[in-house]
Amino acid sequence: MEDKSKVICEALDPSTGLFISMALLRDVKNAKDLKEKVMSGALKCAIMKPSLIVDPFQVIVAANKAAVSYINNKMVTKSMYTELLFNLSISKNITQSLVKFGIHESDDDVFIATIHKKNESGILEILSEISGELVPLVELKNLFDSSLICKSYKLSEFEKNNSLILDSIVSRIATSDFVTY
């Protein structure tokens, strides 16, 4: 379970001094327990539905916005992890964003992200709480639901046919503070 090669760590905005670590798990047997632990604060991470994640970069952009908001005391939500989920969504409704991107009790595939200082990810401890198989992040391409993503991000037919879905999603995440979709 603790295969570090399947966990990716990337630096966020240098002004924050923070990093993001990410992992993908399949055949998860304890999603209900995980959801409860995240909601109670016992697990310090964001747990997302991989069906709505096209690429880890999408999560990095949302996490970067969350980290900058955190550093500048401008978060809309109560924690950096709910802020990450909120930033993934184009909705201005916090509850709707958390329900859409957060896991459900019946989910058996999960995408995990922690935001942390250098060398302090804690992701291996989080992974030890999950009954599932850690898989390479490249498997996201087999898990994302293109039609659900297009609906969630309100992608037009023209956009779907003439640009990369990831580019459209990242543009929406980056501009969601000042553009309504």
> pLDDT of 38-74, one tens digit each?
999 999 999 999 999 999 999 999 999 999 999 999 9
pTM of this prediction? Answer: 0.92
Find the domain containing 69 and state its range. Answer: 7-145
**66-110, pLDDT tens digit by residue?**
999 999 999 999 999 999 999 999 999 999 999 999 999 999 999
In a domain, 169, yes or no: no
Question: 159 lies in a domain?
Answer: no
What pLDDT shows up at residue 1? 43
Could you report the per-residue pLDDT of 99-132, keeping only the tens digit for each? 999 999 999 999 999 999 998 878 989 999 999 9
Q: Give the whole-angstrom CA distance, residue 8 versus residue 113.
A: 9
Contact of 85 with 45, CB cutoff 8 Å: no
- Sign of dihedral through CA atoms 18, 43, 51, 29? positive
**Measured distance CA(116)–CA(156) in Å, rounded:** 36
Contact 117, 19 (CB under 8 A): yes
Half-sphere exposure (Cβ direction) of 172: Cα atoms closer than 13 Å: 24
Give the torsion sign (CA, 5, 7, 10, 16). Answer: negative
- Per the structure, the count of domains in the chain is 1
- Residue 31 CA to residue 33 CA, distance in Å, equals 5
- The enclosing domain of 70 has a CATH number of 3.30.2380.10
